[in-house]
Amino acid sequence: MSAEATNPVSAADAAVTDTTARRRGRARIDLRRLGRAALLGATAGPAPRDRLPDAISHVAEAHRAHHPEADLAVLRRAYVLAESSHRGQFRKSGEPYITHPLAVTLILAELGAETTTLTASLLHDTVEDTEVTLDQVRREFGDEVAYLVDGVTKVEKIDYGAAAEPETFRKMLVATGNDVRVMSIKLADRLHNMRTLGVMRAEKQARIAKVTRDFLIPLAERLGVQALKTELEDLVFAILHPEEYENTRALIAGNSHAGDALDAVAEQVGAVLREAGIGAEVLVRPRHFVSVHRVRLKRGELRGCDFGRLLVLVAEDADCYGVLGELHTCFTPVISEFKDFIAAPKFNLYQSLHTAIAAPDGAVAEILIRTHRMHTVAEAGVVALGNPYVGQEPYAGPTPPPGRPAPAAPDPVPTPDPQPEDGERVDPTRPGWLSRLLDWQQSAPDPDTFWSSLRAHLAEDDEITVFSADGSAPGPISLPAGASCVDAAYAQHGEAAHGCLGARVNGRLAPLSTVLGDGDTVQLLLAQDTVSGPSPEWLDHARTAAARIAITGWLQAHPEAAAAPADAGPRPQVNVPADRRSGAVLHADLDGEPPAAVRPAGCCTPVPPDEITGFRVRGGSVTVHRAGCAAVETMRGVGREPVTVRWGDTAQCRVTLVAESFGRPRLLADLTEAIATAGAAVVAATVEPPSEQRVRHTYTLHLPDAAGLPALMRAMRDVPGVYDVNRARRRGRAEPRDS
């Protein structure tokens, strides 16, 4: 993992940050101060067998601070192999290459990583960049170290060409699904490379920074490694947004004493807690560069308290709520800022109480309340959990690159019972987002689809949890915020969701487009036949990559489901039922383009013999509007070209009508009688509860002849108490989104 050399964040910036941190006693793992001191003696030759080489003495010191009983002999052996194999290799800055794995290992040691992770981080580039083989690593250090090293080893560019980078990420994510320590090493590796990126060409710096922003920073957030995430954000900010970065740096430097306001609040908070008999440590946490930039965009001019937050550390969970009670009693709380991530931890293991109080000068001071253990996990995430696999079965061998055969498995080793039923290691750190990612990546047909889907997947910030109403799911279903019933169907049933007909959400029938909320119960209704498939419009409602990839794959494999065979001639036509459950047919002339689905717009619900016009929308389908619909002018205004559409010969149609009436006895019976007399069949009907003596009826009707629609609407208006009847208009946006 290649060599770069100078930090885009200047030494002056680091000095400002370090000085501020020391003055206010910041309880943050400060990775910026870790550097060349650990690299002294890196090329001084092998050390005596009875002590560690000088080059990794700093690593050993940091490691023993978290793991006093750790056996350091294996670190010595790993360093000797790494130094000898990288000897003669240099980074682009001119430094010996061994300085890179040493720096990566020191980062992880400061975060509290256990010995196996540190051993693998020392060796993480040996298989990729030297003559050392994976079998040699396995023989010398065991299967776990070999698995971790293989997980972060890039696939060969000669084999994959332009697809090497996405396929490397795919391989790494699959390995992470079986051991999250793989991604811990990769994040530390990228952090050191980002720190030393200054010798690269500007365009390469920007490319690496964008990949870091789109993929590795979201992964650091999801794994809870905030100490790595915040520094990566600042480094990317400096490269991709140099002007905003410089403005923020100048703002922080020009307000070096602005934090005195927080110091004063910290003293008041500490006095209140001492008086209440609560043992707590109150610290000031200055915001990092990106955080200051975001706060400035949100609040405009910044005041002293905006440059940081207070951190209150206590011993027990119950003390957190005791602190909260004292703060809300003795100060004026800002209730809108309160969040309880202890009772409901975030999906990345994060736990804290968040609140805010009004300072004496009217400024708002944000406060984080957590235990010391919560703070360690908040900073180091999964790295702080040590080895979550102790007592489980050993590795079956490293994950091979995609498309390559797996190496021979090592001899089996006795393992404790019970064994996991699916043969995978039970991972207490594997959250729902990672399981979903591992599920859909198997279906990504090509590297480009995987790359774009991964970017979209990682852009999802929040999660919701829904539950199966009928017990068909083995446990809660984790979905991204904004997910719909379509996403729940594919998350629960996989490809069987192709036949999903509808859903019950919290006991009530709901369309598949329904957006789910946290805690909802969902019962998905599946077709009994095996030929049912998804509609193209499901793509409009699918939020998860798994659902979108599955739907797209089915539609590509069944083009006849979206369109009937095209007519002969130079102008392909699409003949699709205007409503899939009726016989009204629409024709669209597409000037030689591939056939597409044709459907009536929900905003104006056209039926024969309405004058109509069509527009191409997502996925190449055509949405048909009445000529007078407001959406037509909107689409023309944004440059959409209309498509020629016309009704077919079939006269029957389905239409939804809304009747507005005053409440009275027998009204429903009289309306349905008028509908039946006009020759229409009621497909579905809803009656809303009366409001101010007014009642709203919605009927979906099947008409044998669309020409009878005006007469039907007149007959319904003639029913006593009915004062208006109109075609239904769907609430919401006036037009579909572009593809």
What is the Rg, in whole angstroms, of the alpha carbon atoms belonging to the chain?
A: 32
Structure tokens, 711: 């007469």
The CA distance from 316 to 318, in Å, is 5
The CA distance from 521 to 31, in Å, is 44
DSSP string, 183-252: HHHHHHHHHHHHHT-TTS-HHHHHHHHHHIIIIIHHHHHHTT-HHHHHHHHHHHHHHH-HHHHHHHHHHH
CB 473: neighbour CB atoms within 10 A?
17
Among candidate residues 18, 21, 587, the one with its CA nearest the CA of residue 286: 21
- CA torsion sign for 427, 433, 439, 442 is negative
Instruction: Give the C-alpha distances (Å, rounded to integers) separating 255 from 76, 189, 282, 307, 602.
Output: 46, 33, 22, 9, 55
CB 54: neighbour CB atoms within 10 A?
14
Told to judge if 129 belongs to the known catalytic residues of this protein, a careful annotator would answer yes
DSSP-based three-state secondary structure for 101: helix
Among candidate residues 563, 593, 561, 548, the one with its CA nearest the CA of residue 457: 548
Contact (CB, 8 A) for 150 and 127: yes
Instruction: Give the C-alpha distances (Å, rounded to integers) separating 675 from 540, 699, 712.
Output: 34, 10, 7
Paired residues of 700 in beta bridges = 656, 684
Tell me which DSSP letter residue 372 carries. Answer: H
Of 129, 150, 233, 670, which one is the catalytic site residue?
Answer: 129
Q: Counting Cβ atoms within 10 Å, is residue 627 exposed (0-12), middle (13-18) or buried (19+)?
A: exposed
The CA distance from 72 to 654, in Å, is 76
The CA distance from 105 to 76, in Å, is 13
Instruction: Give the C-alpha distances (Å, rounded to integers) separating 62 from 42, 68, 148, 193, 469.
Output: 17, 10, 21, 21, 50
Of 30, 54, 128, 281, which one is the catalytic site residue?
Answer: 128
DSSP-based three-state secondary structure for 683: strand
Q: Give the CA dihedral 149, 154, 159, 164, nearest 10 degrees.
A: 150
CB 681: neighbour CB atoms within 10 A?
12
* Three-class HEC string of 592-626: CCCCCCEEECCCCCCCCCCCEEEEECHHHCEEEEE
The CA distance from 83 to 97, in Å, is 9
Q: Which residues, other chains included, contact 107 with Cβ-Cβ below 8 Å and sequence gap of 6+? A: 31, 34, 188, 191, 192, 228
Structure tokens, 248: 């923020």
Contact (CB, 8 A) for 626 and 611: yes
Contact (CB, 8 A) for 692 and 633: no
The CA distance from 701 to 684, in Å, is 7
Just list the catalytic residues. Answer: 128-129
